[in-house]
Structure 1
Amino acid sequence: MLAYYLELALRSLKRSPGLTALMVLAIGFGVAASMTTWSVFRAVSGDPIPWKSAQLFVPQIDNWGPNGRGSDGEPPNAMSYNEAITLMRDHRARLQSAMYQISPSIVPADASKHPINVSGHAVYSEFFPMLDVPFLFGSGWSAADDAQRAAVVVISSKLNQKLFGGSNSVGRTVNVEGKDYRVVGVLNDWNPQPRFFDVVNSGGFSTGVEDVFVPFQRAIAVGMPNDGNTNCNAVPAESGFVGLQHSACVWIAYMAELDDAAAVTAYKQYLDGYARDMQQSGRFGWAPNNRLRDLPSWLDNQHVVPSDTKVSLLVALGLLLACLVNTTGLLLAKFLRRSGEIGVRRALGAPRLAIYAQFLVEAGIVGLSGGLLGLLLTGVGVASVGWVLPKDIAALARVDFSLLVLTLLVAVIATMLAGLYPTFRASRVQPAWQLKSN
């Protein structure tokens, strides 16, 4: 019977090509708009480390007090050097790392080549196992290297290709800011989006790759300056990078791994205990106002998903709904124009279920055709989002197999839903009335 209904549907669609084309265009444009915006929204709202995000936490310590809080009462979204070093020294989490952004120059061994400006972070050794950072060669450095402020470095595969032709460079030397550093590891392709480990500086998204990671205390010792955001509630008493370290300015990102609810509770109690100690010592003149958020909550708090992508998605869904309403009207007009045919079929013994099946198959063909057009328009839309969205975000949108399947499913299911009411009306045609009128 399905083949028979398909034949009837194709004959019907061919009889009114203009109306058929109008319905296909409506579905195609509506589905393409919604799927294009969905591809962007999916990219920016995805969990960057889904297998572990519930165990990764970002602590916030209120070292500025009421005058430095936002209108929502939030403490600073980064840490001062003093707080970060204290938390690292007390080490109340299973794994943890303070970090700050750097942009050193790499001097190639070949004197004929120009220095390479790269981006990266100064971190502790626990950064790599905490974030499950993948390595192509070697590994991160050790805790002993942290303590000794060793001149070691982890580089990206991209930088490794530039400097060493992609070969295993572990044990070789890289000149960073005029000083030699021993390569201990080469990252595999690793560019998580959102850039969750330092959202404050990256804004969550970046097309650039982190090329170098050096020990935190080594970077401090050689005066490798912060290249990220620095926020101060008062002018530092001393100048330069050392003055920044001695100030209450916040410029250091921090992340800790806590395995269960008991560890989270204990860590929050530790943060509040630290704040109370600072209050009793006179350094803080206010009650504890700390925060401890897991990674998904932190990304939400920092508004990593741009509001305009949410608005665009709602607008696109509204457009799809409008297209479906129009398609419903067109199908209703088309089906009711065939009341005579329906009356004859009913008079010959066709049950209402057969009428339902016939016209839903016709609606499904319209949806499938609109979906195929929507696939083409979705590809064009994804390639064009860079015209309306920032480059770093637009680069994340992509057409993959799941998006292709979803586009077809949305088109077919949405059109069949739009055809339910017209099909219901068609199935209610009274054969006696139609035969008398004819």
Structure 2
Amino acid sequence: MLGYYVELALRSLKRSRGLTALMVLAIGFGVAASMTTYSVFRAVSGDPIPWKSSRLFVPQLDAWGPSTFGNPNNEPVDALTYTDAMAFVRDHRAKLQSAIYVIYPSVVPSRPGEHPFNVGGHAVYAEFFPMVEAPFKFGGAWSDDDDRQRSAVAVIGSKLNQKLFGGENSVGRSIDVDGKSYRVVGVLDNWNPQPRFYDIQNTGGFSVAPDELFLPFTRAIESGVANDGNTNCAKPPKEPGFVGLQRSSCVWVGYMAQLDDATAVAAYRSYLENYAREQQKAGRFNWAPNYRLRDIPAWLESQQVVPSDTKVSLLVALGLLVVCLVNTSGLLLAKFLRRSGEIVVRRALGAARFAIYAQFLTEAGLIGLAGGVLGLALTGVGTLGVGLVLPRDIAELAKVDLPLLLMTLAMAVGSTLVAGIYPTFRAARLQPALQLKSN
């Protein structure tokens, strides 16, 4: 019977080509607008490590006092001073943990004639890699002993490995970083999580370029590899240079800790409370303990990683889809009621209301399918054009993949079927006797 209803629907659609084209365009444009904005929203609001994000935490500590910048919410700054970060590392109250800061040193190729170039990355501790589950193509992370001994080792990204070593296994080979030799212990596979959950304070959450160099935090500090991330100071450092920054109250060090259960979280909160009170007793803080401990989803929300204009755009696009569906519903109602003679003849010959529902909902479904195909093409064009209205780092995250294609088709067909319910209901309720008598 489905084939019969499809044949009837195709005949009906061919008889009114202009009306059919209008409905297909309405559905296509409405669905394309919604799915294009959804592709952006999905990219920026997704959980970058969903299987573990509830166990990864970012501690914050107020090192300046509540009245420094007149923060109405009494919210601590989003990074730590070097002093506090080193105290957290030393006390080691988490299963895994790492202090983090941004580096952008120069790398000198070993091949003659090639010029030095700068590479973005981070200085971290060995526990950073298993904590964030960074994938390795060759080798692995350095050891805790390397951290303690300030070893000259490095983990590099796949693109840097391709540039320096032609993509070969470079574990054990050396690279020149800021004029010093480092031994490669691991090469990351393609890894660039979005949002970049381990460095929200410097990237805002998004960065097209992946990190290509990781050095031991202790070695980077000892070698004077400068911080290339955000540095916020309540007052200028008393001493100049990178050493002066380390001894100042400026905040520039990120931090992340893995806490696997509620007991560990509660214990870490108690640790932060006690640490703040110890600093208060020591005369470093003259205000009540003020700290936060947020898991990754809460951290992303607190940092407002999802741009507000993306949310607004999604709501506007959904509103446009609703308008298109209302218009399509009205066109279907006019189209179906215009065929009242056909309907009542079928009913008089014994067709059940279910048959009328099946016939007209099949017709609506075909319109939705055609609108979905058009919507697929327009969604592809739309994702290519989002860079005109959104920042490049965010626009490049919008991609058309198989789940988005399937969702576009499903939304087009499903929404058109919903729009066709009322017109079909009206058509199926026509009374054969009254209609035949009036004719």
Post-superposition shift, 1:387? Answer: 1.1
Name the residue aligned to 2:266.
265
Name the residue aligned to 1:427.
428
Name the residue aligned to 2:11.
11
Name the residue aligned to 1:191.
192
TM superposition score normalised by structure 2: 0.98
Name the residue aligned to 1:77.
78
% identical equivalent positions: 69
* C-alpha distance in structure 2 between counterparts of 1:228 and 1:57, whole Å: 20
Q: Aligned partner of 2:16: which letter?
A: S
CA-to-aligned-CA distance 1:250-274 (integer Å, 9 cap, x gap) = 0010000001000000000000100
Name the residue aligned to 1:254.
255
Determine helix, strand or coil for the equivalent of 1:234: coil
* C-alpha distance in structure 2 between counterparts of 1:134 and 1:313, whole Å: 33
Q: Aligned partner of 1:13: which letter?
A: L
Asked if residue 245 in structure 1 is aligned to residue 235 in structure 2, the reply is no
What does 1:287-306 align with in structure 2 at a 5 Å threshold? 287-306=288-307
Post-superposition shift, 1:64? Answer: 1.0
Name the residue aligned to 2:165.
164
Asked if residue 178 in structure 1 is aligned to residue 184 in structure 2, the reply is no
* C-alpha distance in structure 2 between counterparts of 1:8 and 1:136, whole Å: 57
Name the residue aligned to 2:396.
395
Determine helix, strand or coil for the equivalent of 2:187: strand
* C-alpha distance in structure 2 between counterparts of 1:18 and 1:91, whole Å: 71
CA-to-aligned-CA distance 1:52-89 (integer Å, 9 cap, x gap) = 11110000011111123632221010000000000000
Determine helix, strand or coil for the equivalent of 1:68: coil
Post-superposition shift, 1:428? Answer: 1.1
Determine helix, strand or coil for the equivalent of 1:419: helix
Q: Aligned partner of 1:428: which letter?
A: R
Name the residue aligned to 2:60.
60
CA-to-aligned-CA distance 1:156-178 (integer Å, 9 cap, x gap) = 11111111111111111110000
Name the residue aligned to 1:285.
286
- Contact 1:153–1:214 (8 Å) recurs in 2: yes
* C-alpha distance in structure 2 between counterparts of 1:51 and 1:428, whole Å: 51
Post-superposition shift, 1:183? Answer: 0.8
* C-alpha distance in structure 2 between counterparts of 1:369 and 1:154, whole Å: 51
Deviates more, 1:215-224 or 1:325-334: 215-224
Asked if residue 217 in structure 1 is aligned to residue 218 in structure 2, the reply is yes
CA-to-aligned-CA distance 1:25-50 (integer Å, 9 cap, x gap) = 00000000001111111111111111
Post-superposition shift, 1:432? Answer: 1.6
Q: Aligned partner of 1:433: which letter?
A: L
Deviates more, 1:341-350 or 1:175-184: 341-350
* C-alpha distance in structure 1 between counterparts of 2:259 and 2:353, whole Å: 61
Q: Aligned partner of 1:297: which letter?
A: A
Post-superposition shift, 1:276? Answer: 0.6
Post-superposition shift, 1:437? Answer: 2.4
* C-alpha distance in structure 2 between counterparts of 1:363 and 1:164, whole Å: 58
Post-superposition shift, 1:111? Answer: 3.1
* C-alpha distance in structure 1 between counterparts of 2:190 and 2:12, whole Å: 54
Post-superposition shift, 1:239? Answer: 1.4
TM superposition score normalised by structure 1: 0.99
Post-superposition shift, 1:299? Answer: 0.7
Task: Give unpaired runs (5+ residues) of structure 1.
Answer: none
Determine helix, strand or coil for the equivalent of 1:100: strand
Name the residue aligned to 2:49.
49
CA-to-aligned-CA distance 1:322-365 (integer Å, 9 cap, x gap) = 00000000001101111111111111111111111111111111
* C-alpha distance in structure 1 between counterparts of 2:282 and 2:156, whole Å: 42
Q: Aligned partner of 2:26: which letter?
A: A
Name the residue aligned to 1:333.
334
CA-to-aligned-CA distance 1:231-285 (integer Å, 9 cap, x gap) = 0111111111111111111001000000100000000000010001111111111
Q: Aligned partner of 1:300: which letter?
A: E
* C-alpha distance in structure 2 between counterparts of 1:359 and 1:166, whole Å: 59
Asked if residue 310 in structure 1 is aligned to residue 322 in structure 2, the reply is no
- Contact 1:68–1:75 (8 Å) recurs in 2: no
* C-alpha distance in structure 2 between counterparts of 1:408 and 1:45, whole Å: 22
- The alignment yields a C-alpha RMSD, in angstroms, of 0.9
* C-alpha distance in structure 2 between counterparts of 1:379 and 1:68, whole Å: 49
Count of aligned pairs between the two proteins: 438
Name the residue aligned to 1:360.
361
- Contact 1:100–1:122 (8 Å) recurs in 2: yes
Determine helix, strand or coil for the equivalent of 2:322: helix
* C-alpha distance in structure 2 between counterparts of 1:16 and 1:341, whole Å: 15
Name the residue aligned to 1:31.
31
* C-alpha distance in structure 1 between counterparts of 2:109 and 2:180, whole Å: 12
